[in-house]
Amino acid sequence: MRGSSDAGSTGRLPRGDRPFAYAMPGATGVCRARERPRRRPERWAREREAYPGEIVLRDLEHAPGDAALIVARFAAVRVLLLAGAGRLDPEEVRGAAGYMAVLPPEHRAVLRPLLDALASPPALLPTALGRAAEAATRTGHPSGAFGLLRIRYYLALELGAWSEALNITTRLAGLTARHDAPGAAARWRRRMAALRSRDRRDHGYLAGMASYTEAERKRLVQALHEDAELRCPVCGAPVSSRPVAPPPEVSYVRKRVWLLCGSCGRSAAVDLPSRPGLSGAGPP
């Protein structure tokens, strides 16, 4: 009879009884369809926030024990976003200050300047954002660092500080790549490439290239010493290397290579590590 729930009359199980299965006519059993594993949503795949500062609260999923610090950081970011949109309520500032008041002094000293910058010259806010982002990274709160750096990026765009915006996109590309968010990393690399092209148009080709810091150079030299894959310590992209030819007028120079990141444009010339037991390595 049509509509009957008897599987034998239709060859199929009722829909509610077979979420991942079906019955084949003439078969004695039920063939289970392979359930596709669900891919875990990528961190920062969705940039649009449900409410101002929401992205900072995503650290609660991984560090619930740091709730007081994460909520205070969220309150500060929310105040900055509302102020930028011209919708800041003084109660928001007082609430953020209250959340900060219960923090240890070392955390309060990093977050409080974000509120103080509202009544200070605009040039002080990027510095306060940078310090707070570095502190969030040290405490293992990448979403907090992401939210703070993103405000600094938008501020640089608003001020027309293209070199500063390029520096921030490089840091955001590296942050997202380190935390297994390839989609977000690709987005920030595209922004980085667009800003680098603009910087080169305005100031020449070499303006888009920067040098590695001493600490970053040491990490690259360590990778050379271990014959490991060369990855940019800033943005995580592959780094190419080529030998530096010694000048003909110099009788002896150390073997050097030129390292270049094809993504962020950073470069450095470093000495190749000496190999133990090799003869003719040159004078000490």
State residue 159's pLDDT score. Answer: 74
Alpha-carbon distance 270 to 261, whole Å? 14
User: Please, how many CA atoms are within 13 Å of residue 208, restricted to the half-sphere of its CB?
Assistant: 21
Placement of tokens 């409410």 in the chain:
51
Lowest average pLDDT, out of 114-123, 145-154, 169-178, goes to: 114-123
**What 8-state DSSP symbol labels residue 12?**
S
List C-alpha distances in Å: 79 to 95, 97, 110, 242: 10, 10, 15, 48
- Size of the chain, expressed as the number of residues it contains: 284
pLDDT over 70, % of the chain? 72
Q: Which residues face 257 on adjacent strands? A: 243, 270
The neighbouring-strand residues paired with 241 are 259
Cα 163 to the chain's mean position, in Å?
Answer: 18
The encoded tokens of residue 122 equal 């605009």
Instruction: Quick: pLDDT tens for 22-42.
Output: 444 444 554 455 555 566 677
The Cα 156–Cα 176 span in angstroms is: 20
Q: How confident is the model at residue 147 (pLDDT cuts 50, 70, 90)?
A: very high
pLDDT of amino acid 251: 44
CB 52, CB 130: distance < 8 Å: no
Q: pTM, whole model, 2 decimals?
A: 0.61
- 21: helix, strand or coil: strand
Compute the distance between CA of residue 136 and CA of residue 129 in angstroms, rounded to an integer.
10
pLDDT in tens, 228-244: 888 888 877 888 888 76
Q: Supply the DSSP symbol for 246.
A: P
How distant, in Å, are the alpha carbons of 67, 119, 120, 200, 272 from that of 139? 12, 28, 27, 36, 35
d(CA 138, CA 146): 13
Give the Cβ contact number of residue 191 at 10 Å.
Answer: 19
**What is the distance between the terminal CA atoms of the chain, rounded to a whole angstrom?**
96
The pLDDT tens digits for 62-105 are: 999 999 999 999 999 999 999 888 888 999 999 999 999 999 99
Which one, of 114, 109, 106, 102, lies nearest residue 76 by Cα?
114
Residue by residue, DSSP assigns 122-137 as TTHHHHHHHHHHHHHH
**pLDDT at residue 16 is higher than 60:** no
Give the whole-number percent of the chain exceeding pLDDT 90: 38
Confidence of residue 209 (pLDDT cuts 50, 70, 90): low
> What span, in angstroms and rounded, lies between the C-alpha atoms of 40 and 269?
41
110: left (phi over 0), alpha (psi -120 to 50) or beta: alpha
* Placement of tokens 């969705």 in the chain: 46
In angstroms, the Cα distances linking 121 to 111, 117, 198 are 17, 7, 27
- In the structure, what pLDDT confidence band is assigned to residue 44 with cuts at 50, 70 and 90? confident
pLDDT of 205 higher than 50: no
